[in-house]
Amino acid sequence: MAEVFFSCQPVFDADLKHWGNDLLFREGLENKFPSIDEDTATSRVLSANFLASGNQSGAKYIVNFGESSLIDEIPLSMPAESLVISVTKDSTPSQRLIDNLKAYRSDGYQIMVDGNAFRQSWSQYIELIDIIRVSMDVDDPAAWEAIATKYANKTFLACKVETQDELMMAKQFGFSLFQGYFFEKPQIVRSEDVAPSVLTLLDVCIIINRSPNDIDGLTQLISKDVSLLYKVVASANILAKTKTSAITNPRQAVVYLGVESLRRLVSLLIMSNMSNKAAFQLQNTALLRATFMSSLNVSDQNFDPDEGFIVGAFSLLDVMLSRPMEEITQHLDLSYDVKRAMVSQDGVYGCALALCKDIERANWNGVTHWCNQFSVSDKAVLKTYEKCRDETAEIMSSMQV
């Protein structure tokens, strides 16, 4: 596990209603700029805020993207209605970048540029820009009145607003979004993010490049890494805006995302987690539980091995992410039976998880109890568990980096 810090500063509209949040990666609880490159910073913000924490509030987030991230289509890993793409001031408007920005806008994303960049290299691409951000500490808002009048269909955001007079002045000269200490100082948000194995991520890239239609191979590989599985299922559900039923198993998530979305997600995670160390022992235990629960030969017709796998794989996410399981399950649109097994260890999957835990603790009375509940032989169950443990040990040894 790794702690991820980012600055979250609210943005308000002309009625002083909360419009969205500006997210910036930070290296600790102090509001200091990071020493890492901008693409890594961006990827860690996205991974921690959207894929680890989720975005169930419907809030809009401004996130900085460098030129390479924009060309690699990293923003497409996130839903358009939640994300404002802020093009960093050092980005050069090359033809490839312009083409990508046009595609982003066609997909519903809003594009933001810095005021200085707009006055220089980006002014000729005004049709691609939705929001222009101007810093009050270096720019006189009066100097923007003519531009704001000329481009009345564009949104102008005044940042570094620190007084009532500055707010009124910005409103007078055509600004409609506002941010600064006058409203609220940035809050430093701390999040726990679990890193998938780098080797697993690279193996996924290899399969995508060599055999993009090998859905079963991709699903099998992703299912071996608990944190990657969580992020794939979370990403699928985040992007499934028109999906009426939950995406609940690995293959379904891979099929829904498709090769290109999966490629973008893996690229984001590689950038985000190359320097992190995965919670190896926790992932080992979770993968063993998942493998065992999907291998249980029970007569209950309500027991689905795929859902058993999910319950086992996600059963330690509260420890991995340092969040209550109730909160985590809100960010995954799982079935009712899976959720109640994860939260309160109820139902058929909850009983299977309890059996798993009793085996781990060598609580043989508990093992006998649950085997009787499932009408299965305790000897057969323990044999299955040993087989799954050997398989898991072999998988995990190949994943260490």
In the chain, what are the domains? 2-191 (3.20.20.450), 194-273 (no CATH), 280-399 (no CATH)
Q: What pLDDT, on a 0 to 100 scale, did the predictor assign at position 194?
A: 58
Q: What pLDDT, on a 0 to 100 scale, did the predictor assign at position 275?
A: 46
Residue 330 clears pLDDT 50, i.e. is over it: yes
**Closest by CA position to 183, among listed 354, 375, 13:** 13
- pTM score above 0.85: no
Tell me which of 53 and 126 has the higher pLDDT: 126
**163-175 pLDDT tens trace:** 999 999 999 999 9
Residue 81 clears pLDDT 80, i.e. is over it: yes
CA atoms of 387 and 389, how far apart (whole Å): 5
Q: What pLDDT, on a 0 to 100 scale, did the predictor assign at position 333?
A: 58
198 contacts: CB under 8 Å, gap ≥ 6: 270, 273, 274, 401
Q: Give me the percent of the chain exceeding a pLDDT of 70.
A: 80
Residues 355, 367 contacting (CB under 8 angstroms): yes
Residue 266 clears pLDDT 90, i.e. is over it: no
**58-69 pLDDT tens trace:** 578 899 888 888
Residues 2, 274 contacting (CB under 8 angstroms): no
Tell me which of 334 and 5 has the higher pLDDT: 334
Q: What pLDDT, on a 0 to 100 scale, did the predictor assign at position 276?
A: 44
Reported as half-sphere exposure (CB side, CA atoms, 13 A), residue 81 has a value of 10
Tokens 């291998």 appear where? 295
Dihedral sign, Cα of residue 289, residue 291, residue 293, residue 295:
negative
Tell me what the mean pLDDT of segment 43-66 comes to: 68
- pLDDT category, 335, cuts 50, 70, 90? confident
CA atoms of 181 and 209, how far apart (whole Å): 47
Instruction: Sort residue 309 into left (φ over 0), alpha (ψ -120 to 50) or beta.
Output: alpha
**271-327 pLDDT tens trace:** 665 444 445 677 788 889 989 999 998 877 788 888 888 899 888 888 876 778 888
Q: 192 has which bridge partners?
A: 3
- Tell me the chain's radius of gyration from C-alpha atoms: 24
274 contacts: CB under 8 Å, gap ≥ 6: 40, 198
Tokens (6 digits) for 348: 């058929």
CA atoms of 224 and 94, how far apart (whole Å): 40
CA atoms of 17 and 158, how far apart (whole Å): 15
Alpha helix positions (H), 82-213: 95-106, 115-117, 145-150, 164-172, 198-210
Round the average pLDDT of the chain to a whole number and report it.
81
373 contacts: CB under 8 Å, gap ≥ 6: 351
Alpha helix positions (H), 13-66: 38-46
Tell me which of 335 and 62 has the higher pLDDT: 62
Tell me what the mean pLDDT of segment 83-108 comes to: 92
Tokens (6 digits) for 212: 């993009």
Window from 160-164, 180-184, 339-343 with minimum mean pLDDT: 180-184
- Pairing type for strands 61-65 and 83-87 reads parallel
Q: What pLDDT, on a 0 to 100 scale, did the predictor assign at position 249?
A: 78
375 contacts: CB under 8 Å, gap ≥ 6: 298, 299
Q: What pLDDT, on a 0 to 100 scale, did the predictor assign at position 278?
A: 44
Q: 25 has which bridge partners?
A: 6
Q: What pLDDT, on a 0 to 100 scale, did the predictor assign at position 345?
A: 92
Residues 234, 47 contacting (CB under 8 angstroms): no
Angle at 44 (CA atoms; ends 39, 46), nearest 5 degrees: 95
Reported as half-sphere exposure (CB side, CA atoms, 13 A), residue 353 has a value of 26
125 contacts: CB under 8 Å, gap ≥ 6: 93, 98, 101
Q: What pLDDT, on a 0 to 100 scale, did the predictor assign at position 27?
A: 53
**142-163 pLDDT tens trace:** 889 999 999 999 999 999 998 9
Tell me what the mean pLDDT of segment 355-362 comes to: 93
CA atoms of 227 and 320, how far apart (whole Å): 9
Window from 20-24, 190-194, 236-240 with minimum mean pLDDT: 190-194
Q: For the chain, what is the largest distance between any 2 Cα atoms, rounded to a whole number of angstroms?
A: 81
Tokens 């239609």 appear where? 213
**Closest by CA position to 96, among listed 75, 124, 67, 119:** 67
Residue 369 clears pLDDT 60, i.e. is over it: yes
Residue 101 clears pLDDT 90, i.e. is over it: yes
